């Protein structure tokens, strides 16, 4: 258990342990995209619960992104002032916090524009949206930002050969499809210097003709060369049902283990971790940090429970019923 609760540095961030709250959709933001009291309470619970690093849920960089109801946004300076409350509650407990910057769809003139139909001006706009959002996150007190390039959202589709059939500077090869990520990173560095920048990416789209492990690996190495600070490994279809401690945990671990020998990037790994034993094994394999999502929905104080000596696996049964509740709360919490 000691390895999990050793202090660790992630770039310029100091973490009290190796556990991360992975970005988790809350569907609670108000109509403007700002956090409501219940959201702030969620982050307060997580920070008090002993997690070493918190990554916020999907936070759109665009005011016109209407991908989901209850969508959080960081698309204006006024919203940045409101999100500062989330940074404050995390910092009060000494927990660094990273804002996940995302785009569900790119909208022009009230129409959703897919990858192949983007103009050069559209692409420049996307890049600026992320850079401006990173500046707002930094101004709000966040310690870092995460470029969300996973789970089938806009950037995930952009870097996937299944969706991107462009034949210009932004398509036709892994390197060209990844160019938008490098351009976003450069814009963030210009507008929010010094902030930690991580990226979430699928190890595979699990889709014929989509991003495969080889393409994902190459994309990560391109971003490492561009100056990325860390990477979180995920994949499409992340919320696998029926996870059992010691049986089928850590389902993206093979990819992450394959990345470590060829990359110096700190690797954050999400995907079905439920037990101290499996987490320690992954850390022993060289994985730097372990992300938890559903287990912290049911037990926001799980890290503290483990550290205090109750080392039973996470109580989460991977039923995914939380996705169908208001605020995505666990249906078993408190029972």
Q: Taking residues 278-292, what's their average pLDDT?
A: 96
> What is the per-residue pLDDT across 22-44, written as a single tens digit (0 to 9) for each?
999 999 999 999 999 999 999 99
Specify the number of domains making up the chain: 1
Report how far residue 7's alpha carbon sits from residue 16's, in angstroms, rounded to the nearest whole number.
4
Give which of 34, 25, 104 is closest to 57, Cα–Cα. Answer: 25
Report how far residue 314's alpha carbon sits from residue 304's, in angstroms, rounded to the nearest whole number.
12
The predicted pLDDT at position 254 comes to: 95
Report how far residue 5's alpha carbon sits from residue 95's, in angstroms, rounded to the nearest whole number.
14
> What is the per-residue pLDDT across 116-167, written as a single tens digit (0 to 9) for each?
999 999 999 999 999 999 999 999 999 999 999 999 999 999 999 999 999 9
The answer to whether position 92 is within a domain reads yes
The answer to whether position 333 is within a domain reads no
CA atoms within 13 A on the CB side of 146: 27
Per the prediction, the chain carries an average pLDDT of: 94
Question: Where does the pLDDT of residue 2 fall: very low under 50, low under 70, confident under 90, or very high at 90 and above?
Answer: low
The answer to whether position 3 is within a domain reads no
We report the CATH number of the domain holding residue 254 as 3.20.20.70
Question: Where does the pLDDT of residue 276 fall: very low under 50, low under 70, confident under 90, or very high at 90 and above?
Answer: very high
The answer to whether position 121 is within a domain reads yes
- Tokens at 21, concatenated: 């709250």
The predicted pLDDT at position 242 comes to: 79
b/e sequence 209-234, b meaning 16+ C-beta within 10 Å: ebbbeebbbbbbbbbbebebbbbbbb
CA distances (Å), origin 140, targets 59, 89, 220, 231: 14, 12, 28, 23
The answer to whether position 314 is within a domain reads yes
Whether 310 shows a pLDDT value over 60: the answer reads yes
The predicted pLDDT at position 134 comes to: 98
| Percent share of the chain, pLDDT over 70 | 98
b/e sequence 23-39, b meaning 16+ C-beta within 10 Å: bbbbbbbeeebbbeeeb
pTM (whole model) above 0.75: yes
- Tokens at 289, concatenated: 């940090």
Which residues neighbour 306 within 8 Å (Cβ) at sequence distance 6 or greater? 1, 4, 5, 50, 276
The answer to whether position 87 is within a domain reads yes
The answer to whether position 334 is within a domain reads no
Tell me which residue range forms the domain holding 317: 8-328
> What is the per-residue pLDDT across 45-77, written as a single tens digit (0 to 9) for each?
999 999 999 999 999 999 999 767 899 999 999
Q: Taking residues 169-198, what's their average pLDDT?
A: 98
Report how far residue 132's alpha carbon sits from residue 200's, in angstroms, rounded to the nearest whole number.
19
Q: Which of 128-132, 223-227, 281-285, 322-326 has the lowest mean pLDDT?
A: 322-326
The answer to whether position 277 is within a domain reads yes
Whether 326 shows a pLDDT value over 90: the answer reads no
């Amino acid at each position: 258990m000691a390895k999990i609760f050793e202090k660790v540095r992630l770039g310029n961030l100091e973490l009290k342990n190796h556990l991360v709250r992975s970005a988790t959709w809350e569907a609670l933001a108000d109509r403007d995209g700002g956090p409501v009291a219940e959201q702030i309470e969620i982050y307060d619970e997580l920070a008090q619960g002993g997690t070493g690093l918190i990554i916020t849920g999907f936070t759109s960089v665009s005011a016109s992104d209407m991908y989901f109801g209850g969508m959080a946004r960081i698309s204006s300076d006024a919203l940045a002032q409101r999100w500062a409350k989330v940074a404050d509650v995390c910092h009060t407990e000494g927990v660094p916090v990273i804002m996940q910057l995302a785009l569900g769809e790119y909208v022009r003139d009230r129409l959703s524009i897919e990858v192949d139909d983007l103009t050069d001006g559209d692409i420049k706009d996307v890049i600026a949206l992320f850079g401006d959002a990173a500046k707002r996150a930094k101004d709000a007190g966040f310690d870092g930002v995460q470029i969300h390039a996973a789970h089938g959202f806009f950037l995930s589709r952009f870097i996937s050969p299944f969706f991107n059939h462009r034949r210009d500077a932004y398509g036709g090869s892994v390197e060209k499809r990844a160019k938008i990520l490098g351009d976003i990173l450069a814009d963030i560095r210009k507008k929010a210097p010094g902030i930690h920048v991580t990226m979430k990416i699928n190890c595979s789209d699990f889709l014929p003709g989509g991003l495969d492990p080889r393409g994902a690996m190459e994309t990560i190495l391109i971003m490492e060369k561009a100056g990325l600070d860390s990477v979180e490994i995920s994949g499409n279809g992340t919320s696998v049902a029926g996870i059992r401690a010691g049986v089928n945990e850590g389902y993206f671990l093979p990819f992450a283990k394959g990345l470590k020998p060829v990359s110096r990037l700190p690797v954050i790994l999400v995907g079905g971790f439920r037990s101290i034993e499996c987490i320690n094994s992954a850390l022993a394999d060289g994985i730097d940090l372990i992300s938890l999502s559903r287990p912290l929905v049911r037990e926001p104080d799980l890290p503290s429970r483990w550290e205090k000596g109750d080392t039973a696996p996470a109580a989460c049964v991977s039923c995914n019923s939380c996705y169908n509740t208001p605020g995505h709360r666990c249906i078993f919490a408190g029972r």
